[in-house]
A = this chain, B = another copy of it.
Amino acid sequence: MVGDQHGDAAGMIVLCTDFGLEGPYTGQVKAVLARAAPAVPVVDLFADLPPFRPQGAGYLLAAYGAVFMPGDVILTVVDPGVGGARAALALEADGRWYVGPDNGIFELVLRRAQAPRCWRIDWRPAALSATFHGRDLFAPVAAALALGEAPRGKEGPPTRHPGWPDDLAEIVYVDRYGNAMTGMRAAILPAGTELEVAGARIPRARTFSDVPPGALLWYANANGLAEIAANGASAAATLGLAPGAGVAVHPPG
């Protein structure tokens, strides 16, 4: 869990979106939350999830959501189908709440949780825009959950994606250092495994400074995913990596 100390905060709302922070989307979501649940802290976990890619976001969410605590509400929006036929969901998984679109973004959270429950949100606000359900629909639902209200809908199953792997051998996110996260949990990869991406075969290390300056490494990142980096340099720039790039796994031996 994030934080050794447990303070006064009863729970927080965690934003995981592709909205960006500098443009008008996250700010309008926070204005709704500040009006509806002014005492609840709001934390920006991801605002730069790769747009149009709910599958990759699902692997990130399963790894990063896990550090939050029971009672926290994780508002998750990568929603290229906004305003179309896709349903809106509220999930309870291992004590945490998740709110967002029914497009696969919760597939891995559901798969790894103990006895998750799911509601299809049928509440609608007085004014619902066609393209910004984050503000109009998901934020009020998240605020209500953070305040202890019941989900605004009927319990019912989400759309499942049984064909998706448990771990995705693909780049799902590139951070500002040029580190490239895969959708694979490091713990499933045997000692001595090498990862291959963009023609480079990369050994495992514990941290950046364990390899020479400029050298590539992969490591178990601080949230458990296998991540490709370079010591003091950008692996993404060196290798030309972007979300969606495939990764090959070479077990030892």
Contacts and interface: CB of A to CB of B under 8 A. Distances in A.
Interface of A: 2-9, 12, 14-15, 18-28, 30-32, 34-39, 41, 43-48, 51-52, 64, 67-69, 80-84, 125-126, 129-132, 135-136, 139-140, 143, 173, 175-177, 206-210, 219-223, 231-233
Contact of A233 (B24, B52, B210): B52
Given A24-B64, A175-B23, A222-B136, A3 B35 contact: yes
A3 B12 CA distance: 18
Which applies to chain A's interface (DSSP): helix, strand, loop or mixed? loop
A6 B64 CA distance: 32
Contacts of A173: 23
A132 B222 contact: yes
Contact of A46 (B8, B24, B52): B24
Instruction: Choose among A4, A12, A31 the residue with the greatest number of B CB atoms under 10 Å from its CB.
Output: A31
Contacts of A69: 35
B131 A221 contact: yes
Instruction: Choose among A25, A26, A32, A125 the residue with the greatest number of B CB atoms under 10 Å from its CB.
Output: A32
A18 B20 CA distance: 15
27 contacts: A2-B35, A3-B32, A3-B35, A3-B139, A5-B36, A7-B37, A8-B38, A9-B35, A12-B34, A14-B27, A14-B31, A18-B176, A19-B176, A20-B22, A24-B45, A25-B175, A27-B43, A28-B45, A31-B43, A31-B45, A35-B69, A82-B207, A83-B208, A129-B221, A130-B222, A131-B207, A131-B222
A22 B21 contact: yes
10 closest A-B pairs (Cβ-Cβ)? A83-B207, A132-B222, A129-B222, A3-B35, A22-B48, A84-B209, A27-B45, A5-B36, A130-B207, A20-B176
A83 B9 CA distance: 30
Given A23-B46, A34-B12, A232-B52, A28 B83 contact: no
Given A80-B208, A207-B131, A222-B131, A21 B34 contact: no
A28 B21 CA distance: 16
Contacts of A31: 2-3, 12, 14, 43, 45, 67-68
B35 A47 contact: no
A99 to B, nearest CB: 16
